[in-house]
Amino acid sequence: MLLRDYTLVHARTKVRGIFCLETDWSEVRGMTSVQPMLALLKSSPLGVPFVHRHVVTADALDYYLKKWTLRAHDDFPLLYLAFHGIEGEVQFGDLRRRSARVSLDRIEELLRGRCEGRVIHFGSCGTLGVSQRRLRRFIDETGALGVSGYEKDIDWVRSAMLDFTLFSSIQQNTMTVPGMRAVRRRMQLRQGREIRALKFRMALREPRS
């Protein structure tokens, strides 16, 4: 899509802000962060606003997840969890400590019934390497439109680029299940090779029978 095309799309849709919680990736002097990528989205023609907070404890994660669900943050319906991860968990801080691991079950409990019209993206290795049934339960319990992320260990730079594409694409559609299906189709069409290589997946709310 050309720059002018993004501008035209942006003019017709409401901007969806990103609420990002990010771990410290390495030693204290390390500079690795997704914040410059978010700043690029904000300075682009899309003008995507963001909130960015560093999280290195389970208590801090609890606190900011609850903050995100408040009405004051309705303009930030995209939750971006940029952490370490393994199957069914996110991790942060000192990975040797059990307290540095938070399960999908715990995140589901914190967000239960609070995510209507919102999307949760796990920018972490392997967190979504779980069954489709487990993801459906997570979506049903939280009320989210959808959940996305990665099923395997991922290259940091490549996944950050795909995250950028996801957040850009979401700006072009309504925050509805059909809108998110369109996002998923567009990404499959344009980034299919990277999606397959990184084992990216996006699960959406199913219509009730």
| 171 domain residue, yes or no | yes
What pLDDT is stored for residue 106 in this prediction?
96
Range of the domain at 93: 3-204
What pLDDT is stored for residue 100 in this prediction?
82
Which residue, 205, 207, 206, 163, is CA-closest to 187? 163
What pLDDT is stored for residue 10 in this prediction?
47
Over residues 66-98, the pLDDT tens digits come to 999 999 999 999 999 999 999 999 998 666 777
Which parts of the chain have pLDDT scores under 50? 1-11
What pLDDT is stored for residue 36 in this prediction?
94
What pLDDT is stored for residue 202 in this prediction?
97
Q: Determine what percent of the chain is predicted with pLDDT higher than 70.
A: 88
Which residue, 151, 147, 153, 197, is CA-closest to 177? 147
Which residue, 205, 208, 79, is CA-closest to 136? 205
| 14 domain residue, yes or no | yes
CATH code assigned at 176 = 3.40.50.1460
Q: How many domains does the chain have?
A: 1
| 89 domain residue, yes or no | yes
Residue 105 backbone phi and psi in degrees, to 5: -60, -45
| 101 domain residue, yes or no | yes
| 209 domain residue, yes or no | no
Give CA–CA dist 133/136, Å, rounded: 5
What pLDDT is stored for residue 27 in this prediction?
57
